[in-house]
Amino acid sequence: MVVNNLKLLVGGVQLRDAVTTVTDILGKLFVRAGLHVLAMERGYASTIYGAHQFDPLVVSATPPLSYGDDRTDILVALEHDANPDASIQPNRDTILRHGKNLKEGGVLIYDSSADAVETSELKARGVKVFPLAARQIAQRDLKMEVTKNTIVTGALLRLLEFDMDYALFGAYLEGRFLSKGRGVVDINLEAARRGRAAVEEILSSNGWDTIGYRLEPRPSALPNLLLTGNEAIGMGSVMAGCRFYSGYPITPATSILEFLEKHLPRYGGRVLQGQNERESIRAAIGASIAGVRSAVGSSGPGISLKVEEFGLSGATETPLVIIDTQRAGPATGMPTKSEQGDLAMAVYAGHGEIPRIVLSAGTIEECYSLAFEAFDLADKYQCPVFLLSDLTLTDGRKNLPQTFFTENQKPVVRHGLVRASDIEGDGYHRFAMTPSGISPRSIVGTPGAIFKVSGTEHDETGLITTDPSKRKAMVEKRMRKMQTYLREDAKPPQVFGSPDGVPLLAGWGSTKMPLLDAQARLRAEGTETCVVYFTHIWPFPVHLVAPLLRQGSELIVVEQNYAGQLADLIQQECLVETSRVLKYNGRPFYTADIAGGVRQVLAGGTRVVRVGEEAPDAAIVIVPEGD
Amino acid sequence: MVVNNLKLLVGGVQLRDAVTTVTDILGKLFVRAGLHVLAMERGYASTIYGAHQFDPLVVSATPPLSYGDDRTDILVALEHDANPDASIQPNRDTILRHGKNLKEGGVLIYDSSADAVETSELKARGVKVFPLAARQIAQRDLKMEVTKNTIVTGALLRLLEFDMDYALFGAYLEGRFLSKGRGVVDINLEAARRGRAAVEEILSSNGWDTIGYRLEPRPSALPNLLLTGNEAIGMGSVMAGCRFYSGYPITPATSILEFLEKHLPRYGGRVLQGQNERESIRAAIGASIAGVRSAVGSSGPGISLKVEEFGLSGATETPLVIIDTQRAGPATGMPTKSEQGDLAMAVYAGHGEIPRIVLSAGTIEECYSLAFEAFDLADKYQCPVFLLSDLTLTDGRKNLPQTFFTENQKPVVRHGLVRASDIEGDGYHRFAMTPSGISPRSIVGTPGAIFKVSGTEHDETGLITTDPSKRKAMVEKRMRKMQTYLREDAKPPQVFGSPDGVPLLAGWGSTKMPLLDAQARLRAEGTETCVVYFTHIWPFPVHLVAPLLRQGSELIVVEQNYAGQLADLIQQECLVETSRVLKYNGRPFYTADIAGGVRQVLAGGTRVVRVGEEAPDAAIVIVPEGD
Amino acid sequence: MSVASPGTAKLWEQNAFPRHRIQWCPGCGDFGVLAALKMALVRMGVMPHEVLLVGGIGCSGQTRNYLNGNGFHGTHGGPLGYALGAKMVDPGLTVIALAGDGDTLAIGMESFIHVCRRDPAMALILMNNGVYGLTRGQDSPTTGLGKIMEEHTEEHPPFVDPARLAITAGATFVAQSFSGDPKHCADVYVEAFRHPGFALVNDFSPCVTYNKFNTSNWYREHGEHIPEGHDPSDRAAAWALLDDFDRRGKLPLGIIYRAPRRKKAHARLPIWEEELTGIDPAPMFSAFR
Amino acid sequence: MSVASPGTAKLWEQNAFPRHRIQWCPGCGDFGVLAALKMALVRMGVMPHEVLLVGGIGCSGQTRNYLNGNGFHGTHGGPLGYALGAKMVDPGLTVIALAGDGDTLAIGMESFIHVCRRDPAMALILMNNGVYGLTRGQDSPTTGLGKIMEEHTEEHPPFVDPARLAITAGATFVAQSFSGDPKHCADVYVEAFRHPGFALVNDFSPCVTYNKFNTSNWYREHGEHIPEGHDPSDRAAAWALLDDFDRRGKLPLGIIYRAPRRKKAHARLPIWEEELTGIDPAPMFSAFR
Ligand SMILES: Cc1ncc(C[n+]2csc(CCOP(=O)(O)OP(=O)(O)O)c2C)c(N)n1
Ligand SMILES: Cc1ncc(C[n+]2csc(CCOP(=O)(O)OP(=O)(O)O)c2C)c(N)n1
Ligand code: SF4
Ligand code: SF4
Ligand SMILES: [Mg+2]
Ligand SMILES: [Mg+2]
Note whether B611 and B584 are within 8 A (CB).
no
- Cα separation, D21 vs A232, in Å, equals 50
**Residue A578, pLDDT above cutoff 80:** yes
User: pLDDT band at residue A416, thresholds of 50, 70 and 90?
Assistant: confident
Q: Which of A384-398, A420-434, B472-486 has the lowest mean pLDDT?
A: A420-434
Give the chains touching D; criterion: ≥3 Cβ pairs < 8 Å.
A, B, C
Note whether A43 and A53 are within 8 A (CB).
yes
Q: Is C50 on the interface with B (CB under 8 A)?
A: yes
For the residues A305-325, what does the mean pLDDT come to? 98
User: pLDDT band at residue A620, thresholds of 50, 70 and 90?
Assistant: very low
- Cα separation, D189 vs D40, in Å, equals 6
Smallest CA-to-CA distance from A102 within A123, A118, A82 is with A123
Tell me, what's the pLDDT at C6? 60
State CA A61 to chain mean position distance.
22
Looking at the complex, report in whole angstroms how far the Cα of residue C114 sits from the nearest Cα belonging to chain B. Answer: 7
**Residue C17, pLDDT above cutoff 90:** no
DSSP 8-state symbol, A488: H
Note whether B559 and B609 are within 8 A (CB).
no
Q: How many CB atoms lie within 10 A of CB A262?
A: 13
In a domain, D93, yes or no: yes
- Closest residue in D to B301 (Cα–Cα): D75
User: pLDDT band at residue A617, thresholds of 50, 70 and 90?
Assistant: very low
Name the residue facing B330 among A299, A314, A585 (closest C-beta).
A314
User: pLDDT band at residue A12, thresholds of 50, 70 and 90?
Assistant: very high
Strand B397-401 and strand B36-39: the pairing is: antiparallel
Task: Find which of D21, D68, D75, D288 to mutate to test the A interface (most A CBs within 10 Å of its CB).
Answer: D288
Q: List pLDDT tens digits, range B30-49.
A: 999 999 999 999 999 999 99
Looking at the complex, report in whole angstroms how far the Cα of residue A273 sits from the nearest Cα belonging to chain C. Answer: 7
CA dihedral C64, C66, C68, C70 (to 10 degrees): 30
Q: How many CB atoms lie within 10 A of CB C19?
A: 15
- Cα separation, D110 vs C165, in Å, equals 13
In a domain, D4, yes or no: no
Question: Which stretches within B70-181 are classed as H helix?
Answer: 93-98, 120-124, 134-136, 148-159, 167-177
Tell me, what's the pLDDT at B612? 86
Residue A462 carries which side chain, given as an amino acid letter? G
**D129 Cβ closer than 6 Å to some ligand 2 atom:** yes
Q: List pLDDT tens digits, range A151-176.
A: 999 999 999 999 999 999 999 999 99
Residues 51-90 (D) with a CB less than 8 A from some CB of A: 52, 54-55, 64-65, 68-75, 77-78, 81-90
- Cα separation, D143 vs D210, in Å, equals 11
H or E element: which one contains C25? none
Nearest CA to ligand 2 atom 24: D76
Cross-chain residue pair A263–D19, CB shorter than 8 Å? no
**C209 Cβ closer than 6 Å to some ligand 1 atom:** no
**Residue A619, pLDDT above cutoff 70:** no
Note whether A32 and C5 are within 8 A (CB).
no
Q: Is D6 on the interface with A (CB under 8 A)?
A: no
Q: List pLDDT tens digits, range B153-190.
A: 999 999 999 999 999 999 999 999 999 999 999 999 99
pTM score: 0.97
Tell me, what's the pLDDT at B116? 87
- Cα separation, D264 vs D241, in Å, equals 31
Tell me, what's the pLDDT at A255? 98
Tell me, what's the pLDDT at B408? 81
Q: Which ligand is nearest the CA of A257, by number?
A: 1
> Three-class SS string for A347-398?
HHCCCCCCCCEEEECCCHHHHHHHHHHHHHHHHHHCCEEEEEEEHHHHHCEE
CA–centroid distance, residue D111 to ligand 1 (Å): 18
User: pLDDT band at residue B626, thresholds of 50, 70 and 90?
Assistant: very low
Q: Which ligand is nearest the CA of B456, by number?
A: 1
In a domain, D7, yes or no: no
For the residues B461-474, what does the mean pLDDT come to? 95
Tell me, what's the pLDDT at B96? 87
In a domain, C128, yes or no: yes
Pocket test for ligand 3, best of C22, C24, C214 (most atoms within 8 A of CB): C24
**Residue A330, pLDDT above cutoff 80:** yes
Task: Give the contacts of B604 (CB within 8 A, at least 6 positions apart).
Answer: none
- Cα separation, D286 vs D288, in Å, equals 5
ipTM confidence score? 0.97
**Residue B85, pLDDT above cutoff 90:** no
Strand C251-258 and strand C173-178: the pairing is: antiparallel
Looking at the complex, report in whole angstroms how far the Cα of residue B152 sits from the nearest Cα belonging to chain A. Answer: 28
When the pLDDT of each residue in chain A is averaged and rounded to a whole number, the result is: 94
3-state secondary structure of B451: coil
Task: Give the contacts of D189 (CB within 8 A, at least 6 positions apart).
Answer: D36, D37, D39, D40, D123, D125, D177, D201
* CATH code of D210's domain: 3.40.50.970
Residue C141 carries which side chain, given as an amino acid letter? P
Smallest CA-to-CA distance from B381 within B403, B359, B397 is with B359
Cross-chain residue pair A451–D71, CB shorter than 8 Å? yes
Cross-chain residue pair B586–A466, CB shorter than 8 Å? yes
Cross-chain residue pair D20–B251, CB shorter than 8 Å? no
**A460 Cβ closer than 6 Å to some ligand 1 atom:** no
Q: How many CB atoms lie within 10 A of CB A9?
A: 28
For the residues A70-77, what does the mean pLDDT come to? 94
Nearest CA to ligand 2 atom 26: D76
Give, in order, the Cα–Cα distances in Å from D90 to each of C223, D95, D187: 42, 10, 25
Tell me, what's the pLDDT at A614? 55
User: pLDDT band at residue C41, thresholds of 50, 70 and 90?
Assistant: very high
**D203 Cβ closer than 6 Å to some ligand 2 atom:** no
State CA D28 to chain mean position distance.
18
Smallest CA-to-CA distance from A312 within B623, B352, D79 is with D79
Note whether B251 and B227 are within 8 A (CB).
no
Tell me, what's the pLDDT at A624? 44
- Cα separation, D89 vs D92, in Å, equals 9
Residues of D in contact with C266 (CB under 8 A): 153
Tell me, what's the pLDDT at B619? 35
Cross-chain residue pair B254–D135, CB shorter than 8 Å? yes
Cross-chain residue pair D135–B251, CB shorter than 8 Å? yes
> Ligand 2, closest atom to CA D134?
19
- Closest residue in B to C46 (Cα–Cα): B445
Cross-chain residue pair C77–A276, CB shorter than 8 Å? yes
In a domain, C6, yes or no: no
Residues of B in contact with D104 (CB under 8 A): none
Give the number of A-C residue pairs with CB atoms closer than 8 Å.
80
**How would DSSP label each residue in A312-329?**
HHHHHT--EEEEEEE-B-
Strand partners, A130: A109
Q: Which ligand is nearest the CA of C104, by number?
A: 1
CA–centroid distance, residue B305 to ligand 2 (Å): 14
Note whether D256 and D284 are within 8 A (CB).
no
Smallest CA-to-CA distance from B160 within B76, B88, B85 is with B76
User: pLDDT band at residue A184, thresholds of 50, 70 and 90?
Assistant: very high
State CA A252 to chain mean position distance.
9
Note whether A295 and A270 are within 8 A (CB).
no
Residue D189 carries which side chain, given as an amino acid letter? Y
Comparing A409 with B342, the larger pLDDT belongs to B342
Looking at the complex, report in whole angstroms how far the Cα of residue A158 sits from the nearest Cα belonging to chain B. Answer: 35
- Cα separation, C60 vs C30, in Å, equals 6
**Residue C5, pLDDT above cutoff 70:** no
Tell me, what's the pLDDT at A423? 85
**Residue A53, pLDDT above cutoff 50:** yes
User: pLDDT band at residue C12, thresholds of 50, 70 and 90?
Assistant: very high
Cross-chain residue pair D62–B331, CB shorter than 8 Å? no
> Three-class SS string for A155-167?
HHHHHCCCCCCCH
Strand partners, A213: A2
When the pLDDT of each residue in chain B is averaged and rounded to a whole number, the result is: 94
Residues of D in contact with B282 (CB under 8 A): none
Give, in order, the Cα–Cα distances in Å from B144 to each of B520, C87, C184: 48, 50, 70
Q: Give the pLDDT means over successive 10-residue stretches in chain D (289 positions).
A: 64 88 94 98 96 98 96 98 98 98 98 98 98 97 94 97 98 98 98 98 98 98 98 97 97 97 96 97 94
Cross-chain residue pair D22–B85, CB shorter than 8 Å? yes
Nearest CA to ligand 3 atom 1: C133
When the pLDDT of each residue in chain C is averaged and rounded to a whole number, the result is: 96
- Cα separation, A146 vs A166, in Å, equals 19
CA–centroid distance, residue C24 to ligand 3 (Å): 6
Cross-chain residue pair B333–A457, CB shorter than 8 Å? yes
Looking at the complex, report in whole angstroms how far the Cα of residue D72 sits from the nearest Cα belonging to chain A. Answer: 5
- Closest residue in A to D275 (Cα–Cα): A241
Residue ranges of E strands in D122-263: 123-128, 173-178, 199-204, 223-225, 251-258
Note whether B123 and B108 are within 8 A (CB).
no
Q: Is D7 on the interface with A (CB under 8 A)?
A: no
Give the chains touching A; criterion: ≥3 Cβ pairs < 8 Å.
B, C, D
Give the chains touching C; criterion: ≥3 Cβ pairs < 8 Å.
A, B, D
State CA C55 to chain mean position distance.
10
In a domain, C3, yes or no: no
Task: Give the contacts of C228 (CB within 8 A, at least 6 positions apart).
Answer: none
Cross-chain residue pair D273–A414, CB shorter than 8 Å? yes
**D237 Cβ closer than 6 Å to some ligand 4 atom:** no
In a domain, D181, yes or no: yes
Q: List pLDDT tens digits, range B535-564.
A: 999 999 999 999 999 999 999 999 999 999
**Residue B83, pLDDT above cutoff 70:** no
Q: List pLDDT tens digits, range B561-616.
A: 999 999 999 999 999 999 999 999 999 999 999 999 999 999 998 999 999 865 43
In a domain, D258, yes or no: yes
Q: List pLDDT tens digits, range A449-484.
A: 999 999 999 999 999 999 999 999 999 999 999 999
> For chain B, first and last CA: distance in Å?
43
User: pLDDT band at residue A382, thresholds of 50, 70 and 90?
Assistant: very high
Tell me, what's the pLDDT at D16? 86
Comparing B618 with B195, the larger pLDDT belongs to B195
**D29 Cβ closer than 6 Å to some ligand 2 atom:** no
Note whether B389 and B357 are within 8 A (CB).
no
Q: How many domains does chain D have?
A: 1
Nearest CA to ligand 1 atom 5: A250
Q: Which of B82-86, B514-518, C77-81 has the lowest mean pLDDT?
A: B82-86
CA–centroid distance, residue A274 to ligand 5 (Å): 15
Q: List pLDDT tens digits, range C120-171.
A: 999 999 999 999 999 999 999 999 999 998 999 999 999 999 999 999 999 9
For the residues A314-337, what does the mean pLDDT come to? 98
Give, in order, the Cα–Cα distances in Å from A394 to each of A39, A361, A432, A627: 11, 10, 40, 19
Domain enclosing residue C246, as ranges: 14-145+155-286
Tell me, what's the pLDDT at A623? 43
Q: Is B304 on the interface with A (CB under 8 A)?
A: yes
